[in-house]
Amino acid sequence: MASLQNSLPRPADSAYLAGVNRRQFLERSTAASFALASAPSFAADVRDAKKRVGLIGTGWYGKIDLLRLIQIAPVEVVSLCDVDRNMLAGAAEIVASRQKSGKRPRLYSDYRVMLKEKDLDLVLIGTPDHWHALTMIEAVKSGADVYCQKPVGVDVTECQAMLAAARKYNRVVQIGTQRRSTPHLIEARDRVIKAGLLGKISHVEICCYYHMRATDSSPDSAAPENLDYEMWTGPAPMRPFHKLNHPRGWRAFMEYGNGIVGDMCVHMLDMTRWMLDLGWPLSVASVGGIYMDKKSRANISDTQTAIFEFADMNVVWTHRSWGDAPDPKYPWAAIIYGEKGVLKAGVNGYDFYPSGKTESTLKGEPLFEYEKYPEDKIEKDLERHVASAVRWHMKDLLVAIEKRSRPVADIEQGYISSTACILANLSAQLGRSFKWDAGAAKIVGDDEANKLLTRPYRAPWVHPVADTV
């Protein structure tokens, strides 16, 4: 296995050239040094530490995360957990074929049984959002550090409890907002924003125009025999099974997440906060609903706008799961407006436009590392343009674990971004804006809204709270 230090792209590496042609390389060779200055750096003791790893939730992104970790560190995946036994068995085969030992992990259908072993150094959580809180809290209680997919929780009280648990048990927790570890976005931050090319920044537009809201209007059906639907539902309200629920379609329902705002806005808001060094929004307002597609079984909004107000700056989110994107290159992105120019940044690249210019003068594209990681070319369902971001995010986590420090997407940062998105949905639901008191962790002067910061849990599951984790 290649060393972690050698896995970092360098401007002259053939691996760096794998995803760009010669002209692009020459244009970007200087820019690459900006990203490298902020790239994770690894010592020998980190490379040699063989951590025992478990994964809870072996679906789409659970496997993407785990297989990227296997690529960059000598971990041993010893435990897998899922309530779908077919998905679990398939994941076990993939892991056995990819990890160096060739061993097949132990398989579990209940995360509590897996964590009772207390023999895991690191736990990855790739469950639907409504399961993040309970699994993450039990994982840190068991003594493991954690990589948890975004968002942190589905309600604010969950997020607070997860942060409290991470701190109480002194565990390192990285949230899967991997835009903070995306090579070309690190480059954009350093080369454009930190270099002062935008000047004063007072407005940011963040957006998603993907047609990602389910349009299925078919009836409910029986759950598949291989799925423990009772356990899959867990603390969420019990709905009749619909084929959208599993696999991968559960984001169609607010019962399991926070819609497109909780899925896509959290990434771009978090990226903006990281790039511009923003803390909590002072106020949040949102409007939206199901305006276009009223026939689908999905109950999440298809159209929504939110305003996150910071000191001397607003960040405005828009999603629309229909029609065309204003800029086809940036259908999911942040457009950062400064007095001296505009920066467009997203998963597909970045472009800087000085004021008065219609052509970008600085640009970057995703980093592909096919020569170093040839399995990226053939791995089923892999988002190839973000594979390097997941690897860099995992590397940052491993450094933080070794140093017992805060990773770049520490759970507190995830708590802020996730809570802001939850507040946006509550604002749209109640039809009014909120002022947020970060110290008290409450909405100012709105008892009705504060009651909605905690979702009811279905018995026998008990909602975690910060004071009792």
Report DSSP state, residue 264: I
* Cα separation, 229 vs 246, whole angstroms: 9
pLDDT at 33: 56
Q: Are 57 and 127 in contact (CB under 8 A)?
A: yes
Pairing of strands 201-208, 313-320: parallel
Q: Are 420 and 269 in contact (CB under 8 A)?
A: yes
pLDDT at 180: 98
Calculated CA dihedral for residues 157, 158, 163, 167, nearest 10 degrees: 100
Q: In the chain, where are the structural domains located?
A: 38-180+385-413, 182-217+242-381
Q: Are 201 and 426 in contact (CB under 8 A)?
A: no
End-to-end CA distance of the chain: 39
The candidate with the shortest Cα–Cα distance to 335, out of 308, 320, 315, 321, is 315
Report DSSP state, residue 265: I
Q: Are 125 and 139 in contact (CB under 8 A)?
A: yes
CB atoms inside a 10 Å sphere around CB 456: 10
Pairing of strands 52-56, 122-125: parallel
Phi, psi for residue 354 in degrees, rounded to 5: -60, 155
Report DSSP state, residue 467: G
Architecture of the domain spanning 38-180+385-413 = 3-Layer(aba) Sandwich (3.40)
Peptide bond just before 237 cis, omega within 30 deg: no
* Cα separation, 405 vs 314, whole angstroms: 31
Place of tokens 């980190």: 46
Helices (H) and strands (E) in the chain — how many of each? 16, 16
Q: Is 341 helix (H, G, I), strand (E, B) or coil?
A: strand
pLDDT at 47: 62
Extract long-range pairs of 214-221: CB within 8 Å, 24+ residues apart: 214/244, 214/249, 214/252, 214/296, 214/297, 214/298, 215/293, 215/295, 215/296, 215/298, 216/242, 216/243, 216/244, 216/249, 216/252, 216/296, 216/297, 216/298, 217/295, 217/296, 217/297, 218/242, 218/243, 218/297
The candidate with the shortest Cα–Cα distance to 184, out of 14, 399, 343, is 343
pLDDT at 13: 34
Tell me the whole-structure pTM to 2 decimals. 0.92
Q: Are 369 and 9 in contact (CB under 8 A)?
A: yes
pLDDT at 37: 60
Q: Please tell me the class of the 182-217+242-381 domain.
A: alpha beta
Phi, psi for residue 235 in degrees, rounded to 5: -80, -5
**Per-residue pLDDT in tens (0 to 9) along the chain, 469 residues:** 333 333 333 333 333 333 344 344 444 445 555 555 656 666 545 666 689 999 999 999 999 999 999 999 999 999 999 999 999 999 999 999 999 999 999 999 999 999 999 999 999 999 999 999 999 999 999 999 999 999 999 999 999 999 999 999 999 999 999 999 999 999 999 999 999 999 999 999 999 999 999 999 999 999 999 999 999 999 999 999 999 999 999 999 999 999 999 999 999 999 999 999 999 999 999 999 999 999 999 999 999 999 999 999 999 999 999 999 999 999 999 999 999 999 999 999 999 999 999 999 999 999 999 999 999 999 999 999 999 999 999 999 999 999 999 999 999 999 999 999 999 999 999 999 999 999 999 999 999 999 999 999 999 999 999 999 9
